Amino acid sequence: MFANSSPAAPTAEFSSSIHEVSRQTGLTMRAIRHYEMVGLISCERGPKNARFLTPATKARLAKIVALKNLGLRISEIAILIAEAPDAERKLRKRLEVLAGNLETQRAALRDYLARLDRP
């Protein structure tokens, strides 16, 4: 089942341990385990039930992090990933909403600063 007989060998030739992925991405191991628990990613299991992430899983995790950084909730990310063919349209719509919200906040801040500058 494992690529070699080493006790810590991942199940795929280029898999990385959850610890390595945590270090590479800056995500906590708890966050990675949470993404697995809610079904956003799946980890391979090695000896002693250690988690390993394949390159495909790491790529998926990078997409999840990018979407999270755009302000999407986990539930929204799950829908986008599940509906991959329709995901781009939905993501564009969500990003347009976020951009509109930012523009509204920017205008409100400009107005507030202008009022502060008045005597």
* pLDDT per position as a tens digit, 72-94: 899 988 888 877 667 777 778 88
Together in a domain, 96 and 78: no
Coil, strand or helix at 42: coil
Together in a domain, 19 and 63: yes
What is the residue type of 13? E
- Percent of residues, the chain, with pLDDT higher than 90: 47
Here the CATH number for the domain that contains residue 9 is 1.10.1660.10
Coil, strand or helix at 100: helix
Domain containing 96: what range? 85-119
The alpha helices in the chain, defined as continuous H runs, are: 18-25, 29-37, 55-69, 74-82, 84-117
Together in a domain, 89 and 77: no
Q: What is the pTM of this model?
A: 0.62
Together in a domain, 44 and 92: no
Together in a domain, 13 and 66: yes
Together in a domain, 35 and 93: no
